Amino acid sequence: MTQLSYKSANELAKMVLDKEISSSELLEYFIKRVESYNPSINAIIVKNYDEARKQARELDEKLLKGEILGALHGVPMTVKESYGVKNTPTTYGRPDLKDNIVKEDALSIQRLKNSGAVIFGKTNVPFNLADFQSYNDIYGTTNNPWNLAKVPGGSSGGSAAALAAGLTGYETGSDIGGSIRNPAHYCGVFGHKPTWGLLPPRGHALPGSLAQSDLTVIGPLGRSAKDLETGVLIMGGPDEIQSAGLKMDLQKSEKKDLKEYKIAAWVNDDIAPVNQEVQNRVLKVAKTISDAGGEVNFEARPDFDMLKAMDTYQSLLLPTMASRTSHDEYNLLKEKLSKLDPNDTSESAYTLRKQTSSLRDYNNANNDRTHLRWKWHEFFKKYDALITPVMATEAFDHNHLNYGERTIMVDNDERPYFEQVFWAGIAIASYLPSTVIPTGLTKEGLPIGIQIIGPEYGDLKTIGLAKLLEKEGYNFIPPSNYPD
C-alpha cells in the first residue's frame, strides 16, 4: 500500500470525502513530516500553519453538513514562493523584497482555496526565479530529496522537492525556461507547463506588476498525471476582466489506447546534446508507444530552422527576464552595453544585447514567433504529440559559481550551463503545453523525466497521453529515506 504521504492529491481528496481521514488530521500529518524532514531538504521556507488549521477545521465542518467545495476538498498543499498568499512574503528570492508581505491571494490561490485546497506553506526559489537550482540569500539552499548533494531544479525547485519527499499533498509552480519541468525531471514527479495565458497568473508577480509577462506561465506539479489535469481545470479559465466573453472549453483526448497515437520523437540534438541515459529514456517511452501499436517518427520536425527559432526565443526571453530587474540593475546593463566591443560575439555579449534590446527588436521577434506558432499548428495536424528530453542530464551537484563560470558535464563533454534552456524553449517560445512524466531512476538512484509537447490549448491531450503512459509504469516512485 502506498504510504499516505506519497498518494496523489486526488487520492487524498477521496480519502477526505470518504471520511477515512479528516482534513485537519491530514494537515497535521503533513506538518509533522515537514518538521521531521524539511530541515535537511529546505523545500518549505514559509509556514502558514495557523491559517491552514483554521481553514481545515472549516472544511471538516462543511463536509459534515454535506458541503463539498471542489476537487481538492481538504487536501493540504504548498505553493511556490512567488505566488501571492495573503499575509505571507513574496520575495522571488530577492533580499530587497524580504519584507514584501502580500495583502491578498493571487487569483490562482483563490481558485485553489475555492476548490478546497488547504495552503499551509510556500516553497523555495532561486534569485529572481532565474536558475536551474533553488537557492537565495533569504532562505538558503534547497536540496534534492533523492541526494542532498544534488540540485532539485529551479525555479520551482522547492515545489518538486516537497512533493518528492512527501511533505505536501500538491503543488503549483511557474515556468519561463523550464521552471516547472526541470524540477519535475530532477525530482521524479509530474509537472505541466500550460499553454500561455490559459491559467491567468494575476497575483503571481513582483510588487506593482499586473500584466502577464510574455512566455511566463503558472502550472501544477503532482504525484500523478490526473493531479495535473485537476490543477489545469481549477486554475484555468479567463480572469474576471475577460469573463463576459471568454470561457475555457479545452478538448480532451479522445484516444483511449497508446495504439491510437502518432508521435514524433526528438531524442537528441547537436545544438544542446543530452547524455546517453536521458536519450535512452526518450527511446524507452517511444518504444512503449510503438510496442502498443502506436506510430513513432524519429525524424519529424516542424518546418523551420531550429537555430533561428532558438534565437527568436532568446530575443523574447532575455528582455522579459531583464524587465524583472531593478532600475539600478538595468542601468548597469545599459552601461555595460555602452562599453561593449561591437565585434564581441561571445555568449555574454549576445545575452547583454538581447537583454537591452529595443521594442522594435522585440516586436520583430514576436512576429517571428507567430510564424513559428503557425508552423507548429501545421505540425500537430500530422502528429498527436512530440516527446523530447527535459534537460541534458539527471540532477547535478550544487553549483553556486557565477553564471558565466558554470558548465554541465554531458557524458564526457563539458557544455555551457544555460545551453539546457534549448529543450525548455521548444515549448515556451511558441506557447505550447508540455507535460513531464517520470521514467524511473538511474543506476545512481536519480530520477529522469521526459516531456510531452502538444498543440496550443492541447493541455488535456498531453496530460491524457501522460495518464496512459502512467498506467504503463511511468509513475511516481517515492524515495525510501522519508518513512512515516
Closest alpha carbon to 393 in 276, 282, 478: 276
Distance separating alpha carbons of residues 122 and 138, to the nearest angstrom: 13
Q: How many CA atoms lie within 13 A of 70 on its CB side?
A: 15
List alpha helices for 197-266, DSSP H.
225-235
Here the cell at position 213 is 509577462
Residue type, 438: P
User: Which residues, in sequence order, are CB contacts of 33 under 8 Å at separation 6+?
Assistant: 5, 165, 166, 167, 482, 484
- Please pick, among 23, 155, 315, 357, the residue that the annotation labels catalytic: 155
Strand 44-47, strand 118-123: pairing: antiparallel
- Please pick, among 24, 156, 179, 430, the residue that the annotation labels catalytic: 179
Distance separating alpha carbons of residues 220 and 71, to the nearest angstrom: 14
Q: Dihedral angle at the C-alpha atoms of 328, 332, 338, 340, nearest 10 degrees?
A: -160
User: Which residues, in sequence order, are CB contacts of 318 under 8 Å at separation 6+?
Assistant: 351, 354, 355, 357
Residue 406: count of CB within 10 angstroms of its CB: 16
Distance separating alpha carbons of residues 30 and 45, to the nearest angstrom: 15
Cell 516512485 belongs to: 477
Distance separating alpha carbons of residues 190 and 432, to the nearest angstrom: 17
Residue 415, classed as helix, strand or coil, is: strand
Distance separating alpha carbons of residues 118 and 76, to the nearest angstrom: 5
Quick check: is 179 catalytic?
yes
Q: Dihedral angle at the C-alpha atoms of 129, 134, 135, 140, nearest 10 degrees?
A: 120
Cell 520536425 belongs to: 301
Quick check: is 113 catalytic?
no
User: Which residues, in sequence order, are CB contacts of 84 under 8 Å at separation 6+?
Assistant: 90, 102, 104, 105, 106, 109, 203, 204, 205
CB of 218 closer than 8 Å to CB of 235: yes
Strand 434-441, strand 447-453: pairing: antiparallel
Quick check: is 24 catalytic?
no
- Please pick, among 7, 24, 80, 156, the residue that the annotation labels catalytic: 80
Catalytic residues, by residue number, are 80, 155, 179
